[in-house]
Amino acid sequence: MKVLITGGTGYIGSHTSVELINKGIDVVIVDNLSNSDFEVVNRIERITGVRPAFYKTDICSRSELFRVFENEKIDSVIHFAALKSISESVEKPLLYYENNVTGTMNVCEAMKRFNVKKIVLSSSAAVYGLTGNNPLKEEAPLFPYNPYGRTKMIQEHIVSDFAESESFGAVILRYFNPIGAHESGLIGENPKGKPSNLMPYISQVAAGRLEKLFVFGSDYKTPDGTGVRDYIHVSDLARGHLQALIKLENNTGVFTYNIGSGRGHSVLDMIKSFEKASGRKIAFELAERRPGDVDMCYADSSLAEKELDWKAECSIDKMCADEWRWQKLNPNGYE
């Protein structure tokens, strides 16, 4: 089996590439390196012993993308490539619609042209927005409240309408909060500039690169007053993609799954666990709520467990230990 992975040098794409290669699947990576580094290809090879095919290609260029499909006999696509910063999407909405929506249209066009009939799409808990009841089930109303979340919802619509019209198979995975890194410490999340997500921020405080964490809100209706989220190890998430491909071996139609642990952890829980993993004190200050944040967000992932035979396995302690190993071994990311 040969799988095209768009965004394959990114955080989740690189871990998924490792997972697939370790199962003997041929991987072809397409990435324009707008938010990742070529070094990731070397690291994937170091972990797996196999060098994936790599194309430095922008999926928004239909002709370039078609050339990859011409060169490689692709069986399935896992579509990660997207821009993902919520704050940047508010500042530059057109960039986000252009990249995430046009990119997805082109991926679907290429699949139609080259008769590829299976796709796994990266979606996000961001599609639920502020309205859902926890634990969130897949049928909760979709009400994204920022341009990024709206591009994810539009990607879902494009892929499902297209899959239905062409009678092919699509699995849409809505990830909750992916954190951690491959246990080798060779690949991990490498945010450019100051991180906006909690885990890379905590990890840079532990490493002494940032002075202290600002805890956004301490008066939420949660057990300790800080925000509660559903954190999931990126390697568990990567395994979910393998299970999605297996699902598509014998099924057509559109299948949508929440991919989370089903458990909520507060910001203070995460600080405590990271301190344990790193043996370092995490300096923090209680601060104002971040606009647009919800008090709590965690998944009901029972459908994925039932239909994909997938379940998150790693504990928060392991997520923090792996994140810290990655941070320690690569203080300057992939440089």
Task: Yes or no: say if 136 and 299 are a contact pair by the CB < 8 Å rule.
Answer: yes
Structure tokens, 75: 């069986």
Cα separation, 138 vs 146, in Å, equals: 19
Q: Among the candidate windows 14-22, 30-38, 104-112, 193-201, which touches ligand WQD by CB under 6 A?
A: 193-201
Cα separation, 211 vs 191, in Å, equals: 17
Per DSSP, 299 falls in state B
Least Cβ distance, residue 58 to ligand WQD (angstroms): 21
Residue of 55, 96, 128, 148 with catalytic role: 148
Residues in region 260-289 near ligand WQD by CB under 6 A:
267
Residue number, 113 or 281, with CB nearest to ligand NAD: 113
Residues in region 124-163 near ligand NAD by CB under 6 A:
124
Residue of the chain from 6, 14, 57, 177 that contacts ligand WQD (CB under 6 A): 177
* Residue 216 within binding range of ligand WQD, rule CB under 6 A: yes
Taking only Cα atoms into account, the Rg of the chain, rounded to an integer number of angstroms, comes to 19
Residue of the chain from 3, 4, 9, 187 that contacts ligand NAD (CB under 6 A): 9
Active site residue 175: no
Task: Yes or no: say if 56 and 33 are a contact pair by the CB < 8 Å rule.
Answer: yes
Task: Yes or no: say if 247 and 308 are a contact pair by the CB < 8 Å rule.
Answer: yes
Cα separation, 200 vs 335, in Å, equals: 17
Residue 184 interacting entry, from ligand WQD, ligand NAD, none, C-beta within 5 to 8 Å by type: none
Backbone angles phi, psi at 188, to 5 degrees: -175, -170
Closest CA to 107 of 45, 175, 177, 155: 155
Residue 119 interacting entry, from ligand NAD, ligand WQD, none, C-beta within 5 to 8 Å by type: none
Amino acid at 274: F
Positions that interact with ligand NAD (CB under 6 A): 7, 9-13, 31-36, 58-60, 80-84, 99, 103, 122, 124, 175, 178
Catalytic residues: 148
Q: Note the residues at the interface with ligand WQD (CB under 6 A).
A: 84, 86, 124-126, 177, 196-198, 201, 213-216, 227, 229, 267, 290, 293
